[in-house]
Amino acid sequence: MTNTKTFGYVRVSTKDQNTDRQLVEMQKLNINERDVFIDKASGKDFDRPQYQALKAQLRAGDLLYITSLDRLGRNSDAIKKEWNELTQVIGADIIVIDMPLLDTRKYKDTMGNFVANLVLEVLTFMAQSEREKTLARQAEGIAVAKAKGKHLGRPQLNLNTLTKQQRVDLEANYQAWKVKEITGVKFMEKLGLKKNSFYKIISEYENSIEA
């Protein structure tokens, strides 16, 4: 078929993860850089901006490369639905680089389709199972941390968590601020605090010196 194009799709789950390994695979295939679509988003569904942009460009006969099936997604039913839409509705071919059996160009007969579909079933199940295990481990970690009384996420800022220098600056400038020799903005800058945190700390400090 003439005027067909080759695309690549790359996905990592978070902005901190590295796409280099997947991009190297795309470069080996000589895929034009502008035809490689990259998402840094969860694979739980297909509501991803670059994936949707890619899908809008795919036409019958085009080739789509992904390094592994879990880069396409992590939800078993969603992967199979999307796979069928790309291959059956749009008419594009998909090549999963690390799983040669998942190359829709090669398996057009009944037995070939059976084998490819079987592999797809197994791999989508594995992708979803891995996601469920990850979520379970995260939930267990949160539960353990809560049981130990640990605060999750950004540490709570209070009077006791101030650095030694912040405590010195607080005590040195508190009276000057109270008599309006320095502004609240200036005091906040000295302490390196934002407005909400500043007034929370001041309230705790005043309670401590009144006690």
Q: What is the pLDDT of residues 106-137, one digit of tens each?
A: 866 555 455 556 666 766 666 566 656 665 66
Flag whether pLDDT at 146 surpasses 70. no
Sheet (strand 36-40) strand order: 36-40, 6-12, 63-66, 93-96
Mean pLDDT of 90-100: 91
Higher pLDDT pick, 127 / 14: 14
Mean pLDDT of 176-204: 87
pTM for the full predicted model: 0.58
Predicted confidence at residue 13, as pLDDT, reads: 87
Phi, psi of 6, rounded to the nearest 5 degrees: -115, 130
So which residues are the catalytic ones? 13
pLDDT band (50, 70, 90) for residue 49: very high
Q: How far apart are CA 160 and CA 195, in angstroms?
A: 18
* Superfamily, domain 6-131: Resolvase, N-terminal catalytic domain (3.40.50.1390)
DSSP 129-142: HHHHHHHHHHHHHH
Q: How far apart are CA 201 and CA 33, in angstroms?
A: 51
Q: What value, to the nearest 5°, has the Cα angle with vertex 136 and ends 84 and 41?
A: 50
> Please, is 37 exposed, middle or buried when counting C-beta atoms within 10 Å of its C-beta (0-12, 13-18, 19+)?
buried
Q: How far apart are CA 141 and CA 47, in angstroms?
A: 28
Q: Where are the domains of the chain?
A: 6-131, 159-210
Share of the chain above pLDDT 90, in %: 31
Flag whether pLDDT at 22 surpasses 80. yes
Tokens of 113: 């389709």
